[in-house]
Amino acid sequence: MDNMSRFDPWNYRPDANWSAAHDIVGYHVEATDGSIGKVDQASHAMEESYLVIDTGPWIFGKKVLLPAGTVTRFDHDDRKVYVDRTKEQIKSSPEFEEDRYTEPAYREKIGGYYGSTYGGYQGFTPGGTVAR
């Protein structure tokens, strides 16, 4: 990402081919370096969109929360979601907390983690612009 780009963690990218007409639960999820699991839950609420991924045997059945902003595209024909993070970045993400993942403080923690995986990230400014 260049200095003028912004990471908007909780909204799907305009060019990701997301549509409410498609139920994406069950889609396979592909990191930049391989498969990480399947979509277990999904939200498409404005400013609160995310995917909960069941990683299956890859991380011993662990679930992870991926902000919608990490999604680069949906392939509805192949039922796949592509994200712009590596398997290691996803594996190293904060622990998924089933009872807290909709709380603002937890979401801020997750958004901050994924925002920091863009080099030079220092935090969010109002409106979601990446500060450098």
Tokens 């003028």 sit at which residue?
Answer: 4
Give the integer Cα–Cα distance in Å for 85 and 117.
8
pLDDT per residue over 12-67, tens digit each? Answer: 999 999 988 899 999 999 999 999 999 999 999 889 999 999 998 877 778 999 99
In the chain, the percentage of residues whose pLDDT exceeds 70 is 86
Q: What are the residue ranges spanned by the domains of the chain?
A: 28-116
Decide which of 2.30.30, 1.10.10, 1.25.40, 1.10.8 is the CATH code for 28-116: 2.30.30
pLDDT per residue over 82-124, tens digit each? Answer: 999 999 999 999 989 999 998 999 999 999 999 887 754 444 4
Give the integer Cα–Cα distance in Å for 55 and 43.
18
